[in-house]
């Protein structure tokens, strides 16, 4: 099964490919430093978008499992941990 990450920033959703670890660290650094721009890469090709992150701004991460084949015979998988809110 394929998964995609959804980043919700101040009510706006951005869909991101894996891996997101480095991006999460950049966002946390921007928030910890009092605010800063972070480039959010596109799900498919392109240059992405720069978003200003600041303390107090609502930011949540969600991992979404999306279909991609016949999983009827697949082994059940353990739930993926969700990302903490910033």
Question: Do the domain assignments include residue 74?
Answer: no
| Tens of each residue's pLDDT in the chain, 86 residues | 678 889 999 889 998 878 889 999 999 999 999 999 999 988 777 888 999 999 988 889 898 888 765 555 556 566 655 555 55
Question: Do the domain assignments include residue 20?
Answer: yes
Cβ 58 vs Cβ 10: under 8 Å: yes
- Degrees, nearest 5: CA angle 75-20-9: 110
Question: Do the domain assignments include residue 72?
Answer: no
Q: Is 30 helix (H, G, I), strand (E, B) or coil?
A: helix
Entry pTM: 0.68
Question: Do the domain assignments include residue 59?
Answer: yes
How many domains does the structure of the chain reveal?
A: 1
Question: Do the domain assignments include residue 78?
Answer: no
Look up the domain containing 55 and give its range: 2-66
Question: Do the domain assignments include residue 58?
Answer: yes
Distance of alpha carbon 54 from the chain centroid: 17
């Amino acid at each position: 099964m394929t998964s995609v990450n959804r980043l919700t920033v101040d009510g706006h959703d951005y869909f991101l490919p894996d891996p997101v670890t480095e991006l999460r660290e950049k966002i946390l650094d921007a928030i910890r430093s009092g605010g800063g721009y972070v480039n959010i890469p596109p799900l498919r090709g392109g240059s992405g978008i720069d978003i200003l992150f600041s303390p107090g701004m609502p930011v949540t991460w969600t991992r979404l499992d999306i279909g991609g084949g016949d999983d009827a015979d697949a082994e059940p998988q353990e739930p993926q941990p969700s990302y903490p809110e910033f």
